[in-house]
């Protein structure tokens, strides 16, 4: 069952060109939504302005080799292993969701474009199902157990906020896609309903980039890289200190400072502290 290509059976009732066109449309929605997010929220301009401001405070010049080394360290530590998460459970859940989603996307492209028939290698179909399962395990673990933990976010599972659009649509896409694949053997109304839910949830996931945290996955590596750069060139240590960010007087003067910044001294210009906030 897991070794069969679910899109091959679908192609018997829906033209393959339509299926492939839908996948291309989802890709274009992600690209367009990310670009719109950058322009509308001016996040790109904000990022480069802050990086430029930090250059004036640096105490040493980094060589090209230093920057390459920092880039590799960022990719391995911050991106590939999500070292920012101190809570091991949160970190494992995040990695399962992240790598499961990557595997799910890559195998979907392979099954739809490279092997759009039953001749697809069984390993690719199995990896597609395993990717969906990995997202489901990591995502539901986060949603029902980690998210409600006061040391993490402290939100009950039934309380929804705008930021939840990404994780919920991601869970919907992988869950309904997985169940639809299983239901294909019996066919009928159940399989059709699950397919419809799979399509709708994926449309929300990839089409809702401007309202969800989807684009966050593209900005996060750049932010992690910049954080390591300002530490390495001395920019962070040379920024003027504004004081204790938990001070009510400072909070009145700087109302945009988020509460999670804690009690350590904050630094003007970058809006971060010497020890950057951790995710627990």
Sequential pLDDT tens for the chain (280 residues): 688 889 988 888 899 999 999 999 999 999 998 888 888 777 667 677 777 777 777 778 888 898 899 999 999 988 899 888 888 899 999 999 999 999 999 999 999 999 876 677 889 999 999 999 999 999 999 999 887 665 555 567 777 777 789 999 999 999 999 999 999 878 789 999 999 999 999 999 999 988 887 877 777 888 888 888 888 887 765 555 555 656 676 666 656 555 444 444 444 444 444 344 444 4
**Across the beta sheet with 272-273, what order do the strands follow?**
241-244, 265-267, 272-273
Q: What is the pLDDT of residue 247?
A: 67
- What does DSSP assign to residue 275? S
Q: What is the pLDDT of residue 261?
A: 45
Cα dihedral 111/125/209/199 (nearest 10):
80
Q: What is the pLDDT of residue 271?
A: 42
Cα dihedral 73/280/166/217 (nearest 10):
-10
Residues 95 and 188 placed together within one structural domain of the fold: yes
Please give the model's pTM, rounded to 2 decimal places: 0.77
| Pairwise CA distance, residues 277 & 254, whole Å | 18
Tokens (6 digits) for 85: 């998460």
Cα–Cα nearest to 109, from 129, 126, 124, 130: 124
Cα–Cα nearest to 75, from 224, 273, 253: 224
Residues 205 and 250 placed together within one structural domain of the fold: no
| Structural domain contains residue 1 | no
| Structural domain contains residue 147 | yes
| Structural domain contains residue 75 | yes
| Structural domain contains residue 146 | yes
Q: What is the pLDDT of residue 177?
A: 97
Q: What is the pLDDT of residue 59?
A: 79
Q: What is the pLDDT of residue 253?
A: 63
Supply φ then ψ for residue 242, to 5 degrees.
-100, -10
* Residue found by looking up tokens 């395993």 in the block: 130
Supply φ then ψ for residue 150, to 5 degrees.
-65, -25
Residues 95 and 156 placed together within one structural domain of the fold: yes
Provide the domain count of the chain. 2
Residues 180 and 249 placed together within one structural domain of the fold: no
* Residue found by looking up tokens 């001294």 in the block: 265
Domain boundaries, position 255: 242-274
Q: What is the pLDDT of residue 228?
A: 87
| Pairwise CA distance, residues 105 & 73, whole Å | 25
| Pairwise CA distance, residues 4 & 1, whole Å | 6
| Structural domain contains residue 224 | no
């Amino acid at each position: 069952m897991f070794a069969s290509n679910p899109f091959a059976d679908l192609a018997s009732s829906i033209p393959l060109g339509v299926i492939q066109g839908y996948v291309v449309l989802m890709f274009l929605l992600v690209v367009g939504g990310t670009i719109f997010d950058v322009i509308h929220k001016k996040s790109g301009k904000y990022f480069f302005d802050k990086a430029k401001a930090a250059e004036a405070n640096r105490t040493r010049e980094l060589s090209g080799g230093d920057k390459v080394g920092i880039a590799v360290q960022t990719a391995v530590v911050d991106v590939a292993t999500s070292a920012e998460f101190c809570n091991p459970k949160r970190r494992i859940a995040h990695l399962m969701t992240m790598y499961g989603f990557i595997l799910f996307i890559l195998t979907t492209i392979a099954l739809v474009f490279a092997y759009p028939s039953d001749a697809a290698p069984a390993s690719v179909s199995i990896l597609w199902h395993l990717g969906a399962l990995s997202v489901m395990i990591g995502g539901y673990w986060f949603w029902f157990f980690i998210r409600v933990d006061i040391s993490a976010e402290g939100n009950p599972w039934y309380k929804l906020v705008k930021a939840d659009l990404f994780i919920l649509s991601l869970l919907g896409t992988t869950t309904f896609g997985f169940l639809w694949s299983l239901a294909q053997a019996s066919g009928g109304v159940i399989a059709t309903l699950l397919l419809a839910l799979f399509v709708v949830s994926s449309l929300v996931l990839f089409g809702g980039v401007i309202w969800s945290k989807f684009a966050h996955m593209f900005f996060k590596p750049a932010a992690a890289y910049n954080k390591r750069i300002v530490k390495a060139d001395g920019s962070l240590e040379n920024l003027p200190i504004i004081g204790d960010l938990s001070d009510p007087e400072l909070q009145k003067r700087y109302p945009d400072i988020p509460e999670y910044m804690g009690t350590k001294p904050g630094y003007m210009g970058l809006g971060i502290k010497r020890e950057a906030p951790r995710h627990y």
